[in-house]
Amino acid sequence: MDITQIDTRIGSKSDYYFSHGNTLPLTGTPFAMNYLSVQTNQDNSWWFNPDEYTFKGIRLTHQPSPWIGDFQHFLFKIKTRANFDDLDDYNRDHSLFRPDYLAIENISQQVRIIATSNKFGGALKFINYSNRPASLVLSGEKLTKVAFSDSIYILKLQNFSACEDPNFTMWLAIKANNLKFEKEINHQKDTNFIFNIADDDELIFATSFISADQAAYNLSNLHSFTQIHQDSVISWNKIFNLIEIQDYKKEQILTFYENLYRTFLYPMQFYEVSPEGKTIHYSTVQKKILPGKMFTNIGFWDVYRTSFPLYSLLCPQKYTEFLEGFFNNYQETGYLPRWLSPDERGMMPGTMLDVIVADAATKGLVKDELPQYFKAMIKGAETSSNDSKYGREGLEEYKTLGYVSNYYPESVNKTLDYAYSDWAISVVAKILHKAQYEAYYAKRSLNYQNLFNKDIGLMVPKTKQGDFINNFDDHDWGKGFTEGSSWQNSFNVFQDISGLIKLYGSKQKFLAKLVELVNQSPLYNIGSYGQVIHEMREMAAQPFGQLAISNQPSFHIPYLFALAGKPHYTELIIKQMLSAFNSSAEGYPGDEDNGSMSSWYLWSALGLYPEAAGKSSYVFGIPLFDLVTIKLENGKQLSLSTENNQDTNLFVSDRNFNEKKCNQTISHQALLNGGNLRVQLSLLPQ
């Protein structure tokens, strides 16, 4: 895929009330420390809208989601008029939004601003169509001067939506051949630093969370716009070249690669390399510089289902690097992280990094480090924190009652997530030959059964006294459930689908419940949320009943049909669900969430899906493309070919791997060994 065809605005037409992705058009390199974007309005969270013709500036951002907020952000502006704070008009149709490159046609200032970015910094240049001299404006909240000289200007920022360190700082170093400081203008919120800049000049910049000296060192490694841009192109081409698609469906191919781009944005790097070559990071918890790697802007409840299993196949070495950084966070806080931005935000119910560790362990990605990860998992499973951001909220109840009661919000999801994490601990214990731990946590992983109401056939919250709550309504959102009702969340028993089926009494009854889920209307009650939230509207907007592909709890539900013996139901639903995605600014059926929904699309388009993170196996769906070739990190190739691949053929009639007929699942190791997965489609199921 040619990088120039990727439009980063995919999924960006979103607001507080409805999400088509809640994404931002980000320019940089995969898993970078900074990204560049475009700000079109004055909003604090939804500051880019692809339909707006206004332009505030090029924004350096670390915002993973509008629901989380940004930190250490500021604007680059090129002005030929003295309206330093006004919104300009820009030609959105003549502007370019690419992973490697931004080009903004500013009508008001009569300039074309061009920007690129790599891991630590970037470059800007511009074409001045006016007959007026240009000014560079750096504008930001709590932006202050550090040191100005003729060659390098250093500033610092201290703005963030939340952080453990009230003095958390990012330093910014800039240079250009003909750059001269003119004045500083302070406003109630923002500060503008105005520089004179020549029309043919290139502004080079670098950032650091370590120090002003480190920012200057990072800047010393950047020399020109061309060099920085080439770094970005090379980085993205390495990703795009991992997967080659041969097919006539150009729109679906573009959608696939735009989703691949989104999958490789988060987590973001939060460490640097010192002049002495040492890997260091700033700990906002310990409030000092520490050795080792660190990553941020990632919510594990969102990504454990799809993103990290995909990394285990496409970039396993990077996966282990991520784990190294996450363990460093544990060493500084005492708990494995749940949602980092820049440090622990405590969002979402479970401690799902447990599952990511187990997934890496079963795939052989961690060996020597596994005992220390295991110790961290045990800490979270047994020790309550006085700060609800850390560990498992309601843990003492969970240990004594076997579930989290309705005293705690999201009690059902907490119980199911904790049970899944317990299973993950048992998996790691087995690898480490710790039989006693394995048995104990395997038994505790069955706690999900304590909330299953056989009369209703769904999970239902319980009181501390052990009774199911009164006046239960299966369409109520909240009231024990996360971003959904009992319909979306009752099937989150990834570790023990066979056990869940037994609770229904038979596969037939289990399948009947799934059919009831998808065949009913997408009705909802606001429940304990007290208002309509965007996830409710997004579920109702899709024609899949209570199967809310708009959010993570429903991601695996279509594949449950295949695991229960009805693969053709899975094939039919997946084929339709893939049509809910496209390459436009309305490209997603809900929040994209740090690559999680993009990864769902990638897996489903390939015709595979992780059975459960930690199980090292994949369930088959239905492939979208004629031929896909995946270049694996071990040097092997995986070929996925599909015959009779017409839009009218909705079912798989035959499937074999390396000339051997397949069952409904395939192991991770089999895929790593490479070979050819051949699928035949048919008009009717056979």
- C-alpha dihedral, 617 to 623 to 624 to 628, nearest 10°: 80
Contact between 569 and 547 under an 8 Å Cβ cutoff? The reply is no
Average of per-residue pLDDT values in the chain: 97
> Please, where in the chain does CATH 1.20.1610.10 lie?
297-682
The CA–CA distances, whole Å, from 327 to 139, 168, 272, 291, 357 equal: 36, 21, 17, 12, 10
Per-residue pLDDT for 399 more than 90? yes
Given strand 272-273, what is the order of strands in its sheet?
272-273, 279-283, 288-291
From 52, 32, 36, 40, select the one nearest 102 (Cα to Cα).
36
* Number of neighbouring beta carbons within 10 Å of residue 686: 10
User: What global pTM score does this model have?
Assistant: 0.97
Instruction: Give the Cα separation of 31 and 22 in Å (integer).
Output: 18
Instruction: Give the Cα separation of 39 and 104 in Å (integer).
Output: 11
Q: Which amino acid is at 145?
A: K
Read off the pLDDT band of 1 (50, 70, 90): confident
Q: Which tens digit of pLDDT belongs to each residue from 296-342?
A: 999 999 999 999 999 999 999 999 999 999 999 999 999 999 999 99
H or E element that contains 296:
strand 295-296
SS3 of 280, please?
Answer: strand
> Please, where in the chain does CATH 2.70.98.10 lie?
3-240
pLDDT of residue 538: 98
Percent of the chain with pLDDT over 70: 100
From 114, 116, 138, 163, select the one nearest 270 (Cα to Cα).
163
Stretch 281-296: mean pLDDT: 98
H or E element that contains 22:
none
Q: Which tens digit of pLDDT belongs to each residue from 571-616?
A: 999 999 999 999 999 999 999 999 999 999 999 999 999 999 999 9
Q: The CATH number of 297-682 is which of 3.50.30.30, 1.20.1610.10, 3.40.190.10, 1.10.3210.10?
A: 1.20.1610.10
Residue 40 structure tokens: 């079109």
Percent of the chain with pLDDT over 90: 98
Read off the pLDDT band of 187 (50, 70, 90): confident
Per-residue pLDDT for 188 more than 90? no
Q: Which tens digit of pLDDT belongs to each residue from 649-683?
A: 999 999 999 999 999 999 999 999 999 999 999 99
Contact between 238 and 196 under an 8 Å Cβ cutoff? The reply is no
Give backbone dihedrals phi and psi of 426, rounded to 5 degrees, phi first: -65, -35
Q: Please report, in angstroms and rounded to a whole number, the separation of the first and last CA atoms in the chain.
A: 36
- C-alpha dihedral, 363 to 367 to 369 to 373, nearest 10°: 50
Q: Which residues 6+ apart lie within 8 Å of 579 measured at CB? A: none
Instruction: Give the Cα separation of 198 and 133 in Å (integer).
Output: 8
Third-level CATH fold of 3-240: Beta-galactosidase; Chain A, domain 5 (2.70.98)
Residue 75 structure tokens: 């604007």
Instruction: Give the Cα separation of 85 and 102 in Å (integer).
Output: 21
**Largest Cα–Cα distance of the chain, in whole Å?**
79
SS3 of 395, please?
Answer: helix
Please give the residue that has the higher pLDDT: either 199 or 187. 199
Q: Which residue has the tokens 């500033």?
A: 155
| CA-derived radius of gyration, the chain | 25
Q: Which tens digit of pLDDT belongs to each residue from 109-150?
A: 999 999 999 999 999 999 999 999 999 999 999 999 999 998
585 burial via Cβ count (<10 Å: 0-12, 13-18, 19+): buried
* Number of neighbouring beta carbons within 10 Å of residue 269: 21
pLDDT of residue 150: 81
| Beta bridge partners of residue 288, listed in sequence order | 283
Q: Which residue has the tokens 């009164």?
A: 470
Per-residue pLDDT for 437 more than 90? yes
521 burial via Cβ count (<10 Å: 0-12, 13-18, 19+): exposed
Read off the pLDDT band of 686 (50, 70, 90): confident
The DSSP string of 235-279 is HHHHHHTTEEEE-S-HHHHHHHHHHHHHHTS-SEE--EE-TTS-E
Instruction: Give the Cα separation of 578 and 571 in Å (integer).
Output: 11
Q: Which tens digit of pLDDT belongs to each residue from 15-43?
A: 999 999 999 999 999 999 999 999 999 98
Q: What is the DSSP letter of 69?
A: -
From 383, 377, 393, select the one nearest 437 (Cα to Cα).
377
Instruction: Give the Cα separation of 668 and 174 in Å (integer).
Output: 46
